[in-house]
Amino acid sequence: MAVWTRADKHGQLDLLLRDRWIRVAAELTRETLTLTAEAELAGPGANNHSDSNSTSAGLRNGMSNGNDPGNRAAAVPPGQDQYPNQQNHGAGRGRSGSPGGRGGVSRGQSDGNYGLNSPGKYPNNGTNSDYGSPGSSYGSPGSSFGSKQGEVPPVSVDGGASSSSEAVRKVRVVKQESGGLGISIKGGRENRMPILISKIFPGLAADQSRALRVGDAILSVNGNDLREATHDLAVQALKKAGKEVTLEVKYIREVSPLFKKPSLVADLPWDGVRPQSPSYSGSEDSGSPKHSSSSAPKDRKVISLKMCFISRNLIMPDLENRLLELHSPDGQHTVVLRCKDGPSANSWFTAVHTNIAALLPQTLAHINAYLGASSSASTHPHLKHIGWLAEQVQLDGGRHQFRPVVMALTEKDILLFESVPWSREAWSMPLLTHPLLATRLVHSGSARGSPAQGSDLVFATRTGTGRGIESHVFRVETHWDLSSWTRALVQGGHAAAELIKEVSIGCTLNRQDVRLTLHYEKGFTVLREPADPAGGAVLCRYPFEKLKMSADDGIRNLYLDFGGPEGEMVFDLHSGPKPVVFVLHSFLSAKLTRMGLLT
């Protein structure tokens, strides 16, 4: 078992957010990478470092999840407050992370029109609660913010001059088994605001209803009127609402700008560990990871490294050799970081990769425990190895590129997934399944045939199928990855041979129906197919060491020569012969390795 020396590291990096670079302080620990915004380096298309990658705008950093189209980075995972508690008694807002609170409007949105105490605007309630999350921070009566409350008109849900709103709607939401309603609320009577939906968590019940919006005022919950409710009373009403919740809501246009959060880094969309797994969920009530008080002024994102994929030069060119690409476990988001130079990038890459790899044994144990937790008769096989790779795919015109995939090895099979499957259903629906016994590792090393500096490290597999041979090429990031996957595939194939032991197939020999059986210990047996269930006669039996020659025509015929008086035997398999050929080679390789003749 490997002994890991995990890396702790900190320093300044540049984060690519849409089409601009943001200077961040990066802190690497054993299980997380924390990014804290320091300054914005340049506007769209500009770059203080004159980096040729600065204009790549097609990345998924900071993309909206569709809940609030005006929000620059609305795809906030559960546990990150949409609008943190703050006290800012000035008329305008400062830059994110500056003294005076985290109230700065992100660049390109507003130049101060939404100052907290500007005439004619509305106070920020200092409270934002993730419904059902035990780590949420709840406000207290009298905690409204604003230097002079009497100068600020209240937000009304009853229409009139002080409210620009839409019609009242009734929305029925059915809670999931885990995840709760999946909303955050703010406001309350003590803040002179209605109870407002400030955030909708992607994929949870409220989001799936497709009927709620950020900016909706909650007028009642299951008939319980909340028009004059305090924040805490609204939280309690939502908690006690039961599995089926009927919300009476009304969209308030004029308060929606209050939810356009000025933070950038904290709003990076990132799907970490899904709440379906009991080993990972942070909150039994809401599905939100537990988090500390939301009053911290810094624009910060904490990324769990568990089952992340760090790569270089995979999704965007890196001519200066100083970019890092960190991919989320769900495969939907990528964070691109830029280091000051090549050696610094190598150092950061090695440190992050080491910590991710060190988490794999723990993750594997958790996944096996989760998949087998339902019953003793679980149909889910035991996982032996899992990790991210980049598979080579062919594009139009004959060009090739690599795409990230997750490979998992069980006792018998190779499974490929688009992303880390956190549910039993996802594990049961892989992109591809190949038997280890019918798969061979045919290449492991440099893609260019020689270990040139900067050349890709790849391994290739070939699998015998009824349609012929299926080949795959996979890129890895380090020599350690290459060694780990090579060893896992070879040893996995040998272990599968010892576990399965026997493979048989009905076929035709000399116009007679027979059954050809390959046994890991006994070798080859040819049985006459019985006309009745009583059994059939053994036509011949040979150990593996008697085999002189084997071949196939790639269509349906298998040729075996044991040096006997019958000469070469031609088996018509009625289908492609490659699976049998590959199983034969796996049995032979496993036996030779067990005898010490192969290493």
Does residue 187 carry a pLDDT above 80? yes
67 is written with which tokens? 């809940």
Higher pLDDT, 276 or 297: 297
DSSP three-state, residue 133: coil
Ramachandran category for residue 130: left, alpha or beta (phi over 0 → left; psi -120 to 50 → alpha): beta
pLDDT > 70: percent of the chain: 67
pLDDT in the model for residue 134: 33
User: 300-304 and 244-252: which strand pairing?
Assistant: unpaired
Query: Residue 322's pLDDT band (boundaries 50, 70, 90)?
Result: very high
Does residue 486 carry a pLDDT above 60? yes
pLDDT in the model for residue 103: 33
Does residue 194 carry a pLDDT above 50? yes
The tens digit of pLDDT for each residue in 153-175 reads 455 666 543 445 578 999 999 98
Cα 405 off chain centre by: 10
User: What residue type is 390 in one-letter code?
Assistant: A
Higher pLDDT, 80 or 218: 218
Stretch 97-115: mean pLDDT: 32
Query: Residue 64's pLDDT band (boundaries 50, 70, 90)?
Result: very low
The tens digit of pLDDT for each residue in 512-557 reads 999 999 999 999 999 998 755 555 689 999 999 999 999 999 999 9
The tens digit of pLDDT for each residue in 329-355 reads 999 899 999 999 999 999 999 999 999
Separation in Å, CA 564 to CA 391, 431, 540, 559, 569: 45, 45, 10, 14, 10
Does residue 190 carry a pLDDT above 60? yes
Which residues lie closer than 8 Å to 1 by C-beta, 6 or more apart?
361
The tens digit of pLDDT for each residue in 199-258 reads 888 888 898 888 998 889 999 999 999 999 999 999 999 988 888 999 999 988 766 555
